[in-house]
Every structure is written in C-alpha cells, then in structure tokens.
A = this chain, B = another copy of it.
Amino acid sequence: MSDYKIFSLGDIVLQCGLRIPDAKLAYKTYGTLNAAKNNVIVYPTWYSGQHYENEWLIGEDKALDPRKYFIIVPNMFCNGLSSSPSNTPAPYGKARFPNATAYDNVRMQWRLVTELFGIEQIALVTGWSMGALQTFHWGALYPEMVERILPFQGTSKCSRHNFVFLEGVKAALTADAAFRDGWYDVQPEKGLRAAARVYAGWGLSQTFYREKLDLEKLGYATLEDFLVGFWEGWLLSKDANNLLGMLWTWQNGDISDNEIYKGDFVKALSSIRAKAIVMPCKTDLYFPPEDSEFEVKHMPNAELRVVDSIWGHFAGGPGTSPVDIEVLDKALRELLAS
C-alpha cells in the first residue's frame, strides 16, 4: 500500500533530446483542493528526498496547513519514485537513464497541476535545496501562474563552487570499481559510503561541528557514529544511479538554460513576478548568501532574508533544527498572508 499516486506522463522527450517512454510522476497531496482552486501549494522534493521526507513542514499547526491548503508534493525524476534509473525498464534504465534538468522536472509538474487538477493559479511554491531550484524554475517558467515563492537554502542556478563540491561526491562514489559504470548488480557500498563522508563536511557548518551539535542535538555518541549513522546511513538507503542522476540535475540547474531565456540569467530572474522571500543560511557551505543576494537584486518582488543559524545547509530542512524551522514557518505564514 503506497501512500502516493502516479501521474502517467506518457512518452516524454527531455531537454537532452532523449526519451523516457511511459514516464511516471509520483506525487502526494495533502488537504483538499477548494472549489475556486486557489488554495494550491507546490512543494518539490530535495536531493534524494521522497515526498514523505518533505513532511516536516506540513501539519495542522504549521503554515503548510492541509485544512487550509491543497499541498502537492511532486517527486523529482531519479528519486526512485518518479521515473528513475532504478525503476525504468531497458533500454532506458540504469546507467542509460537520460539526464533530466530541473526545467524538465518542472515542465512535467506543471502538467500534473494543470492536466490532472485543472489548476490555473498557485498560491505558493516552496522547497529546500534542490526543491528551491525547482521553486525558482516555477517562478521563472510560469510567472503569471505563481503568486508566491519561498526557496530556502538553494539557488536558481548551480554555482561553480557548488558544481565542484558535487564533483567530489560523484568522484568518490564512482571510484568504487563495484559501481561498474552504472551496470552494477548490487549497490557500490564502498562508493556510497565514501560519497557520504565527502558530503558530511559540506552539509553542516564548521561551527556546527565545533559546538558538537551532532552529539548535543542529534544524539549521536561520537563523531564517527554520526558519520556512519547519519551520513552513510543516508546514502546506503539510495540507489547509486539515482543519486548520480539527481546530481546531474543539480549540477546543471539553471533557470535560464532553456528556449525561453536562452541563457540570459538576469532576464530569467527579472521575469519572476511572484512575491518572494529568499532564505539562504548564513553558514550554508554550498549555497552561501552571496548567490542569493545576486538573485534577489534582479527579482522585482523579492526579499532576501538570511537565516542566522549554525546549522549550515540543514537550517530549514529536513526537520533537524526546530528553532530554524520555526523561523522558516513564520516566513511561510507571513508570505501566505500577504
């Protein structure tokens, strides 16, 4: 009994020119679409995350209140539920799964929203990390449809430094011979663990580690326990090709890399009409506030609100830092009320 539904996209052709035959978009909704169809929130998933891993922000005591809003969580391609290397039959599966951009993802999410639900207006799009990347895409690709966006700890284009950090993750994973260029029969465990260790230094700030929040707040026994239990545990629960597919999506994220904006990044930013609060975290090592500053400067209706936290990339998501989540929740309420 799965807790989500599948929207059948049919055969689709991605920006890369390759096809996913009989493509699937897995999604879950929370709450009820009202008659006016004006209570819609779209909340895309983050790197490796599946819809249920977005739920820390949804609840009757929260801004994303399902009694009030119809919240749609679309799963990203390659996350194991929507079409992915791990669930697509030959010849398009495994290492041959085509590269999907954030543009491809959001185009198909738009089909879900319009074709299946007949929605014409979206009150809010929000998301963490790669969810923020998709949020920016919604704002830039459908400016007349999207009223508000709140991207947190994420950007509208992968920065060069962020690209390099991801190169390290990828190189560690694929250094394991068991990966077999993606044609493995069993997961390349050593590579997944190595990639997790690389990730561990990036995910949380220097001060997080200095103040030992892994022990004090997350309850791990030692630093090594945190590296094994939290980080290796995370990536061992995923499929290697799926992870690399999403990593490609992330590295190639750019709201202007499409036929609409033709690479004009500033034009794409300035086309986002939605009222926006952009929330980077001061200590995020891969999405530093400077990148968001540039974005907000070129967005006509946006406010930059830097989260003052030592949780780094994990300030707003995925449920690890209650204090920061409260700050985020307040911003979501404020934006929704405006």
Contacts and interface: CB of A to CB of B under 8 A. Distances in A.
Interface string A268-309: 000000000000000001101011000000000000000000
Interface SS, A side? helix
Contact of A168 (B191, B198, B291): B198
Interface string A127-164: 00000000000000000000000000000000111011
A194 interface: yes
The copy count of this chain in the complex is 2
A161 B227 contact: no
A42 to B, nearest CB: 29
Interface in A184-224: 190-191, 193-194, 197-202, 205-210, 212, 223
A252 to B, nearest CB: 13
B160 A223 contact: yes
Interface residues of A, number: 41
Nearest to A167: B197
A234 to B, nearest CB: 14
A110 interface: no
A171 B198 contact: yes
Contacts of A288: 206
Contacts of A212: 160
Contacts of A205: 161
Contacts of A227: 164, 167
A323 interface: no
Interface of A: 159-161, 163-165, 167-168, 170-178, 190-191, 193-194, 197-202, 205-210, 212, 223, 227, 285-286, 288, 290-291
User: Which 8 A-B pairs give the minimum distances between C-beta atoms?
Assistant: A168-B198, A171-B194, A161-B209, A172-B172, A171-B197, A175-B194, A165-B201, A160-B209
22 contacts: A159-B209, A159-B210, A160-B210, A161-B201, A164-B197, A164-B200, A165-B201, A167-B197, A167-B200, A168-B200, A171-B172, A171-B198, A172-B172, A172-B175, A174-B194, A175-B175, A175-B176, A175-B190, A176-B177, A177-B178, A194-B194, A206-B286
